[in-house]
Structure formats: C-alpha cells, structure tokens
Chains A and B, each alone.
Chain A
C-alpha cells in the first residue's frame, strides 16, 4: 500500500515537472517554426500571430501574450511541485524552498505595509514578483520576454491602479474626490495627472529597463559582427564567416541585463506595488471615523 502511494506520488511529481518544462519547450518550438530564417540581427517588437476582429479595433494575439501564458503555466507547475505533499514538521528540500519563498514575500509585505494588508496582499505581491522575474528571465532561453512589450506590464500596473483606487475609496467617494482638491482647488489638474502618472511610470520603468537591455545587446552584437567582418573577413572559406569576435562580450552583457536587471526590476515593481497600495490606505482611524459617521447618518 505504502509502495503504491509512493508510486502515485512520484508520477504526479513527474507530471508537474513536465508542466514546468513543456511550456518553455513549446515556446521554443513555436519560435523555431514561425520565425523567418532570413531574419538576422534586428530589433523587433512582438510578432503578431492572430488578429481577431472586434468592434473597435482588432484583438491581437502576439508573441508577448503567448509567452506570458506559457510562463503562467510554468509558474503554476512550479508552485504545485513545490507544495505537493507538504506537511507540518517535515523538512524535505522542496518544502524548505517553498517556505523560504513564502517567508521572503511575507517579510516584504509585513515590513512595508499596514497590518490590515498582511493576510491578503502576500499572494498578490508574490504573483507579481514571480511573473515579472520569470518573464524577464525567459530572454535567457532566446524567447521574447513578455516584459519587453509595454502592454503586458501596463496590464499589471492597471491592476495596481485599481487596488490603489479601491483603497482610497475606503473612506467614501466624497473624501476621495475631495482629495483631488487638496491642498487647494487650483491643484486639481496636477492631482489628476499625478494619479495617472503612477501606473504609467511603473509600466514605463519596467518596460524601458528590459527593452534597453535588448537594444544595447543587439547593438553590441551587430557592431561586433561588422568589426569581425572587417578584421577577420579575409580568412579563407567558412572561417571568415564565423563571428569569432562575438564570443564573450555579449555574454557579459547578458549576465547584467538578463539576470541582474530582470530580478532587480521585478523586485522594484513589487516594492512599488507595496508602497503605492499602502500609501493609498487612509488609515484605520479614518476608516473607523467614516463608519461611525455613516452609522450616525443612517
């Protein structure tokens, strides 16, 4: 009986590992099948796979969306794998890893947010952190990173904007609208611009950092190809066609832009999410006062 259970356990494990790896393999296959072979070194946006006609404008299914769906499946697989067969008091390797991740995110949330958020906002921040970091790290596999498309990141920052507005509305619509007129009514346009600047700046920061890495890496690779053709082009036969000078420097740039910058930007996006949401919270006392006033009126 025990052996059979063990067997089932292992089968589920292998299925979850497949769930983690297969989406990435599928993404690479898709890229191999659809990318035109003649395309050399060039800076391109996300390729459009499908156009679905819609009333206002066609709905585009792009590479960025497909890749972000694939990375979502990978993250779900990773989370299920790490928490499969989790039990109190048992210290297996992956349970330790899962607990470490949860502890880190909860430490981030409890360190920077009001106590009312502690129970609910951990999963949201963890989801944003994992999605952002792994999306940017997809560039390591040669796939198009979804964060290099501004629409994907703008979607996340719109979510954050909705949460900010929801928290500001906790003391009623009147207080929210009055906030736009503070400190004096002349500040109204500035306050409206400032309100919309938050999500736009969050999206642009993340997108700009990822795309700058892509642009600089591509420029360096293209430049090295030109230099290589000028310096080593005289070599006979196929020797002249091997870009020997392209070995080395792009890898160093990749370590910075793809690994360090990706993780850094994911962390910054998560921290800004936390700070913006917790900055929009009016405070427990104000909410209590608002509820008391409402009860008095009713």
Chain B
C-alpha cells in the first residue's frame, strides 16, 4: 500500500515536471519569434513603435496560452490528482 501511494505521488510529480518542461518550449520559441520580428519591424519603421509594441504584447499573451494550459495541468497533477488517485486506490482495495 505504501509503495503504491509512493509510486502515485512520484509519478504525479514527475508528470507535472515533464508537462511544464515540454509545455514551456512552444511558447518560448513562439514568443521569441514574435519579439524578434517586432524588433525588426521597429528597426525598419521606428515611428510605428507604439503600435507594434502593443500588438506584440497582445500576441505574446495569446501565444502564451498553451504554456498556461500545461501550467494548469501541472498544478492539477500536483494538488488535485494525488488525492483522487489515492482515494480510488483505497476504494479499489476496500480500505
């Protein structure tokens, strides 16, 4: 029983770490690309700085969405999933 609970907790922590780690790659690359292109645009047309900046921040916030999803999954894995899984295990064994 203790070993089973240990495996559940360990796998939840591992899953949360992997989820956040891999999930952060996409938004990182995407936002970097957006900012690089915004810098290029400002360099080409310095007078359009304010418009480009506000659009870029907006776009970054939307590109961040997938990263935020993985964060929500990671939080669920750490705070919610272990309790549910341990309860399920206890019910299955009949304790």
Contact = CB atoms under 8 A, between A and B. Distances in A.
Contacts of B75: 211, 215
B85 interface: no
A212 B61 contact: no
A128 to B, nearest CB: 16
A96 interface: no
A212 B68 CA distance: 8
A205 interface: yes
B11 interface: no
A243 B63 CA distance: 38
B57 A208 contact: no
A271 interface: yes
Contacts of A215: 75
A257 interface: no
A21 interface: no
A208 B58 contact: no
B68 to A, nearest CB: 3
A212 B73 CA distance: 12
Interface residues on A, range: 10 to 19
A209 B71 CA distance: 9
A268 B60 CA distance: 11
Given A43-B79, A211-B75, A215-B75, A204 B61 contact: no
Provide the main secondary structure of the chain A interface.
helix
A205 B65 contact: yes
Given A264-B57, A268-B58, A268-B62, A204 B68 contact: yes
A207 B79 CA distance: 16
Contact of B71 (A43, A208, A265, A268): A208
Q: Which 8 A-B pairs have the closest CB atoms?
A: A208-B68, A268-B61, A208-B72, A205-B65, A208-B71, A212-B71, A205-B68, A204-B72
Given A207-B72, A211-B72, 20 more contacts: A201-B65, A204-B65, A204-B68, A204-B69, A205-B64, A205-B65, A205-B68, A208-B68, A208-B69, A208-B71, A208-B72, A209-B64, A209-B68, A211-B75, A212-B68, A212-B71, A215-B75, A264-B61, A265-B61, A268-B58
5 contacts: A43-B79, A45-B79, A205-B68, A208-B71, A208-B72
Interface of B: 57-58, 61-62, 64-65, 68-69, 71-72, 75, 79
